[in-house]
Chains A and B, each alone.
Chain A
Amino acid sequence: MWRIALRNLRRNRRRTLLALAIVSLGCSLSLVVLGFVERSKALIQQTTVQQYGNIQIADRALFEGDSEGLGYLIGPEDQELLTRWVAQFPEVRGSTVQLGFSSLLTFRRRTATVRGLGVVPENPVLDYNGLVVGGRGLRSSDLGAVLVGQVLAEELGLRPGDFVNLTATTAAGALNVLPAEVVGIYRFSSAEVERSQVFVPLSLAQTLLNTRGVDRVVLGLRSLRQTWGTARKLDRGLPAQGFTLEARTWDVLSPFYRQLASFFDLLFGFLIAAVFVLVFFIVLQVLTLSFLERTREVGTLRALGTLGQEVFRLFLLEGAGLGLVGGLVGLLLGVAFSLAFNAAAIPWRPPGTVQAVTLGVDFTPLVFGVPLLVSLLSTVVSALLPAGQMARLSVVEALRTV
């Protein structure tokens, strides 16, 4: 059966080639765009996780930013309990705590509003020292130390070794000022972060706010893929442990990532739909013509005892063959084009970022699977209608046609 189907594809070469060209073009285009989307998402994923860790556990009020005062702080005993509890999850590589605060940073009479983040220096989960480009990172022995972003450093003329004053409101509502030495300058993909985010040792943040609390526990996981499953387990377990806290994943924590990811998905969805419709209509034309041409052949097959449904399958197989061959050729074309594109290493600076990234195409199973599936599906769907018509022909009528 498949022999008949595949050989029929070679029968009218020009028509088959046209259909194959359309299918493979659609397939390769989908591959390149999907591979590009995958690479871009992976890049953003990487920087997002660099910023937020895999999962954060905190009070809902902190996440929503709708609290007056510091009611969301997690006390020392709870920190202890929480840290021990999350360590039981096999997916969790480690955890650390952070304390964020709003502050004024003053250097030689110039002042900037910043968001401070107290972190445990040199912790293995998330310590931001990897971002440092000048000076050094925060150390466990540091007391009054601060990491500032490159943009802020340029605006205020800061250099490693300079001393700044940090001003913040304590948990009790009083104003507090502490000096800190700029030990390092960091860079991040976002200029906005570089301008407004500073990192200090947790001890400094707690002294500044006059608290022993932290505002979140940050988890590092063994693999990115475990993020969502683990978050669900945590969310189910937290109330049972007596916490009114929530677990949020990195993709939810970053509005930027969410917007970009859904934009990419939408873009790709449109493309796939367009490819599908285009391939569907052109292949429908091609197959209808080539099936009709074989009306008497169908009559012969039926007269020899072939069932209508077998004829139907034969023609579907032909559609699938077209999709498979076109799809495979399309994959090759797509890979060739992607390799050329990757070799060109085109740099691109996304809006609002400071470092250019290299545009490229990633090859994941998805990048091959989806275009091939769309090719197959669109051609098989195109074949459905004409194949059904051929299968329902009256044997005698089909034999009578010339």
Chain B
Amino acid sequence: MNGQGFCYARGDPVLQAQKVSKIYALGKEKVKALDEVDFLSTQGDFVVINGPSGSGKTTLLNLLALIDRPSQGEVLFEGKPTSKLSERDLAFLRRQRIGLVFQTFNLIPVLTAAENVEYPLLLLNLSRQEREQRVRSLLEEVGLDGLGRRRPDELSGGQRQRVAIARALVTQPRVVLADEPTANLDSTTGKQIMGLLQNLNGEHCVTFVVVTHDPAVPPYAQRVLDIRDGKIQGERYVADRPA
């Protein structure tokens, strides 16, 4: 259950892409990073998008995260098209409903772990009491009890990614998008992080979309999409997820 004991019905559409293409102009040349991609993730989903370097994973994730706009096609959030929304509206959607985890953690270096987790709540104008309570319980949940006062450079890579995950979840978003969350971690730590995401997905009814080229990641998903040269190649369901 999420913090307020409130869960959307499993199966409701959360993020959807309809025939989205993204074309980059590199000088005179045009690079088609995404080619008419269709995608659907529903409430409580745990999707991994798997593909080699340059296949368009980050491009797709940025579109789904509403920080970029497609050249063609439409991205729908909670069933509603987003192409007509202003930058401001998209920013408000992001701060309220979407959590992001980056390959390079992207913590704010001058803030402590707890302050990093607290930052999105400042954007939501929550009371200090509410903020402190949420930050404490999330740090505990990601296994960083007692490390809240450390600054990012005083934490290991795995710990930093845990802070980033706490930051992504603290606003109780509908979906968390992660771009290669294990790429900068050793394989053991990477597995721990994926295990954490899996648990969180089970406990909060948050949708997770993870893009990766790390072969250790797909087993944690419910569903795996393969992407290659900007196209979704196939979809499979994972039978044996690690405990």
Which A residues fall within an 8 A CB radius of B?
1, 3-4, 7-8, 10-11, 296-297, 299-308, 395-396, 399
Contacts and interface: CB of A to CB of B under 8 A. Distances in A.
Given A3-B115, A395-B68, A305 B110 contact: no
A8 B123 CA distance: 19
Given A3-B115, A395-B68, A396-B67, A304 B110 contact: no
B91 A307 contact: yes
B110 A306 contact: no
Contacts of B104: 296
A19 to B, nearest CB: 17
Contacts of A296: 104, 106
Given A395-B67, A396-B68, A308 B110 contact: no
B11 interface: no
A330 to B, nearest CB: 25
17 contacts: A1-B122, A4-B108, A4-B110, A4-B111, A10-B110, A297-B108, A301-B108, A302-B91, A303-B65, A304-B95, A304-B120, A305-B92, A305-B98, A307-B91, A396-B62, A396-B68, A399-B62
B111 A7 contact: yes
Nearest to B118: A3
B94 A303 contact: yes
A302 B67 contact: yes
Contacts of A4: 108, 110-111
A306 B124 CA distance: 10
B109 A11 contact: yes
Interface string B185-222: 00000000000000000000000000000000000000
Contacts of B108: 4, 297, 300-301
B102 interface: yes
B20 to A, nearest CB: 15
Interface of B: 62, 65, 67-68, 87-88, 91-96, 98, 100, 102, 104, 106, 108-111, 115, 119-120, 122-123, 167
A308 B67 CA distance: 12
Given A3-B115, A4-B108, A7-B111, A304 B94 contact: yes
B-side interface mostly: helix
Q: What are the 6 closest A-B residue pairs judged by CB atoms, nearest first?
A: A305-B95, A7-B110, A305-B94, A300-B106, A395-B67, A396-B68
B123 A306 contact: yes
A361 B101 CA distance: 58
Contacts of B65: 303
B181 to A, nearest CB: 14
Contact of B110 (A8, A300, A307, A395): A8
A4 B123 CA distance: 13
B62 to A, nearest CB: 5
**In this complex, which of B68, B88, B91, B111 has the most chain A Cβ atoms within 10 angstroms of its Cβ?**
B91
B123 A305 contact: yes
A318 B132 CA distance: 26
A302 B62 CA distance: 12
B95 A3 contact: no
Contacts of A306: 91, 95, 123
Nearest to B92: A305
Contacts of A307: 88, 91
Nearest to A300: B106
A185 B104 CA distance: 88
A174 to B, nearest CB: 90
A8 B111 CA distance: 9
Nearest to A306: B123
A305 B115 contact: no
A7 B115 CA distance: 12
Contacts of B115: 3
Contacts of B68: 395-396
Nearest to A1: B122
A297 B91 CA distance: 16
A227 B115 CA distance: 57
Contacts of B100: 303-304
Nearest to A394: B68
Contacts of B123: 304-306
B86 to A, nearest CB: 11
Contacts of A305: 91-96, 98, 120, 123
B62 A300 contact: no
Contacts of B96: 305
A38 B42 CA distance: 73
A65 B175 CA distance: 88
A395 B65 CA distance: 11
